[in-house]
Amino acid sequence: MTRDHIEFIQNQCLPWQQDRYFNDIESRLLSRDIESCAYTTLHRLRNGQQWLENHAITANEEFYVLAGSFHLNGFEYAAGCYAFLPAGYPRTNCIVMEDTIVLRMFDSAPLPFEEQDDAIQRAAHLPAIPFLDTYRMQWDRHIHDIKLAHLGLGRKNLRQDPITGQRTFLFMTSPQTHPVNWRGPKEMHPTPEEAFLIAGDLTGEYGTMQAGAYFWRPPGIAHGPYGSKGGSFSLIRFVGGAHINVWTEELFNFSYSVPYQPIVPQAMREFIQAPVTTLPY
């Protein structure tokens, strides 16, 4: 994978622009793989927009609705709804019911699907998840890794790839959380990690993420420890492989007052000091 390390940027600082693959949709591009053309973006759908004919695409896509609502394939997707649609999956009768913001994650360029062999192969053995209303799911509060217990965490598993083990889930932390004695280890993963902070705050070594923050972290980068003053709620993906935590033996200091010191590509640097509005999307 050839995506830049982005950790982190508040999407509110980025401009709305026309999406390169969807001429009638505005986009805030969060990250992009220059080789595969996979990308993650926010799409702003306008009240009354319609795409009634089948508009299947060549990419596998995951999406999560942040605000608003729209109809697609007979489902009504409102805030908190999620889907995984493999390449070639039918998409008909899309009607936007109100101004809507959708977090969309494509594994390749989303071109019109016309029975392309590579798209068919990419979607092989990947079952669709046409609709999940995550408000109807219960939080899993089991501690799967004791080194994260201080976060008072919970998860809602949305998808696990049956072939690669790639995983997407919602993740929450409790308020007033920090490592024991304000010191903790760092963790790393053998696969890229991607996250969008839907609500709350989460502090790490690059500063405090507020609602609307986004990061893409390549594999093998040590990070943490983390804590939250007010609690947090994120969508997280481990891309291309299983979610595995590898911990350092050394402990590191934690503080809520770490200054914002982002790692972003050159094209984003002009936006990192832009003022953050009160609205996350």
- Residue 180 sits in a domain whose CATH number is 2.60.120.10
pLDDT tens for residues 179-217?
A: 999 999 999 999 999 999 999 999 999 999 999 999 999
Three-class SS string for the chain? Answer: CCCCCEEEEEHHHCCCEECCCCCCCEEEEEEECCCCCCEEEEEEECCCCEECCCCCECCCEEEEEEEEEEEECCEEEECCEEEEECCCCCCCCEEEEEEEEEEEEECCCCCECCCCHHHHHHHCCCCCEEEEEHHHCCCECCCCCHHHHHHCCEEEEEEECCCCCCEEEEEEECCCECCHHHEEEEEECCCCEEEEEEEEEEEECCEEEECCEEEEECCCCCECCCEECCCEEEEEEECCCCCCCEEEEEEEECCCCCCCCCECCHHHHHHCCCCCCCCCC
Residues 129 and 155 in one domain: no
Percentage of the chain beyond pLDDT 90 is 93
Same-domain pairing of 158 and 73? no
Q: Is 4 inside any structural domain?
A: no
Range of the domain at 265: 146-271
- Could you tell me if 190 and 247 lie in one domain? yes
> Among 76-90, 145-159, 261-275, where is mean pLDDT lowest?
261-275
Residues 66 and 21 in one domain: yes
**Which pLDDT band holds residue 20 (cuts at 50, 70, 90)?**
very high
237 shares a domain with 154: yes
List pLDDT tens digits, range 34-45. 999 999 999 999
Domain end call among 98, 118, 136: 136
Q: Is residue 159 part of a domain?
A: yes
Is 256 contained in some domain?
yes
Per-residue pLDDT, averaged over 77-100, amounts to 98
* pTM as predicted: 0.96
Of 136, 167, 200, the one marking the end of a domain is 136
Clarify whether residues 127 and 189 are in a common domain: no
